A and B are shown apart, each in its own frame.
Chain A
Amino acid sequence: MSAGIVDLATAKPGDRVDNEHFTAIGLTDEWIRRRSGIASRSWLPEETPLSEVAAQACAPIVTRAGSAAGIDALIVVSTSERQRIPGIAQRVALLAGLDASVLALDMNAACCGFVYGLVLGLSLCDAGRARTVLVCSTEAMSRMVDRTDRQTACLFGDGSAAVLLADRPEFSGFCHTAGCDGSQEALMRETEAGGIQLDGMQVYDRAVRRMSESAQYLFDHGPAPTVVVGHQANGRILEQIRSFNAHLGVPFVNRIEHSGNTSSATIPLAFAEELDAGGIPAAGRLGAVAYGAGETWGGVAVDYRLPAVATP
């Protein structure tokens, strides 16, 4: 048997911040929409622990799975969690109601984190090392950005999403591609003064190329995805990828408008929103492609079959 996605849940608590918020730093709604496709985003209050938000996404899945499902591993992906010791995964496991025997670990691969987390989780399932694996991306990018920085402040948002991976007889095997180039680390980095520094033109160019290449790889190797969800960094990047890959003949999801860039959480959040809107069916093959700081890139094609209740 092969593993795929069998459940999905999201959590986007916090304050809704619309574009008018940024008039204080000289940005207009029109400019932000044109530049990024973003109209609003959620920002968590400073006092809200990210582990609680992650648990909000995980708990419904744990409840639906029941104890018999045997969630053997929890991978919590986060770029923005500040605390390193202890890690966040153990707290999320506790809050979400997972058994103490769960293998729980943190992971950070910037905006590629969810794709890489899927690859690791699917590998655990396919190797027979775990019956089911929960992969949760949780981000509070609003705590990383310099909120006075005109280039980046409006781009980022907060949120969490989780998927449950398990074997199903009808699933085809997953397929993945990944890569990194440490010589490009200056393209996107956290600054010592606080905030995120982006080389906007280079990131745009490289993100389009890398995610397009990853998508093409997924179509060239194994069953073709029925939908592609790219990292939702910028609506214009997504539209360019959609335009360049129209020949693939499947939907390319763009759900950045009311989420912004939530780093590793963008793909499952956009996937969930597209499902909820009825844009794609509850069963199919997801092609998830990402590009991020590092630089990192990658993609994974994975079958999914979701219960009717798995909506945001």
Chain B
Amino acid sequence: MSQSGIESRIADLIVAVLRDRDESLGPDDLNRPVAELDLDSLDLVELHQHLERALRVRGDLNDTARFAYLSDYTAYFSKLASQG
């Protein structure tokens, strides 16, 4: 899969997880600050774990817990997926 294909898949995964939490969230919210979204810290752990499982990679929660934007997850996990 191409890099853009991986990134597109990750974005879709993130949006799917977000919509489980809040149906009003969508692709446009990937570029909003995490702090502005109605997500708690456990939502972010769940997002991290879902991405790991879907992509069959292992990330570091210490890294992703610091992300300010959901799009940071896309870049981080696409890098892991392309390495894997």
- A204 to B40, Cβ gap below 8 A? no
Contacts of A236 in B (CB 8 A): 42, 46
Q: Contact: B41 with A200, CB < 8 Å?
A: yes
Instruction: With A200-B41, A201-B42, A201-B44 as known contacts, state yes or no: A208 contacts B65, CB within 8 Å.
Output: no
Q: Are the C-beta atoms of B42 and A204 separated by less than 8 Å?
A: yes
Q: Is the CB of A244 within 8 A of B53?
A: yes
Q: How large is the interface on A (under 10, 10 to 19, 20 to 34, 35 or more residues)?
A: 10 to 19
For B44, list chain A residues within 8 Å (CB): 201
Q: How many A-B residue pairs have CB under 8 A?
A: 26
Q: Please tell me if A99 contacts chain B, counting CB pairs below 8 Å.
A: no
Measured between C-beta atoms, what is the minimum distance from A26 to chain B in Å?
15
B40 and A35 contacting across the interface, CB-CB below 8 Å = yes
A236 to B46, CA, bound (A): 9
User: Is there a chain B Cβ closer than 8 Å to A240's Cβ?
Assistant: yes
B 21-73 contacts with A by CB, 8 A:
40-42, 44-46, 48-49, 53, 61, 65
> How far is B45's CA from A208's CA once the two chains are assembled, in angstroms?
10
In the complex, which residues of chain B have a beta carbon less than 8 angstroms from the beta carbon of A240? Answer: 46, 49
Nearest CB of A to B55, in Å? 15
A18 sits at the interface (CB 8 A): no
Is B42's CB under 8 angstroms from A200's CB? yes
B61 contacts across to A, CB distance below 8 A = 201-202, 205
Q: Which residue of B lies closest to A237 (CB)?
A: B42
- Tell me which residues across on chain A come within 8 A of B46, comparing CB atoms: 236, 240
Which A residues touch B40, using CB under 8 A? 34-35
B53 and A204: CB pair below 8 A?
no
**B47 CB to nearest chain A CB (Å):** 11
Q: Which residues in B have their C-beta under 8 angstroms from that of A34?
A: 40
Residues of A180-204 at the interface with B, using a CB-CB cut-off of 8 Å, are 200-202, 204
**B17 to A: closest C-beta gap in Å:** 12
CB neighbours (8 Å) of B48 from chain A are: 205
Enumerate 17 A-B pairs (CB-CB under 8 Å) in ascending A order.
Answer: A34-B40, A35-B40, A200-B41, A200-B42, A201-B41, A201-B44, A201-B45, A201-B65, A202-B61, A204-B42, A204-B45, A205-B61, A234-B42, A240-B46, A240-B49, A244-B49, A244-B53
Residues in chain A within 8 A of chain B (CB atoms): 34-35, 200-202, 204-205, 208, 234, 236, 240, 244
20 new A-B contacts at CB < 8 Å, known A35-B40, A244-B49: A34-B40, A200-B41, A200-B42, A201-B41, A201-B42, A201-B45, A201-B61, A201-B65, A202-B61, A204-B42, A204-B45, A205-B49, A205-B61, A208-B49, A234-B42, A236-B42, A236-B46, A240-B46, A240-B49, A244-B53
**CB-based closest 4 A-B pairs:** A204-B45, A205-B61, A201-B41, A205-B45
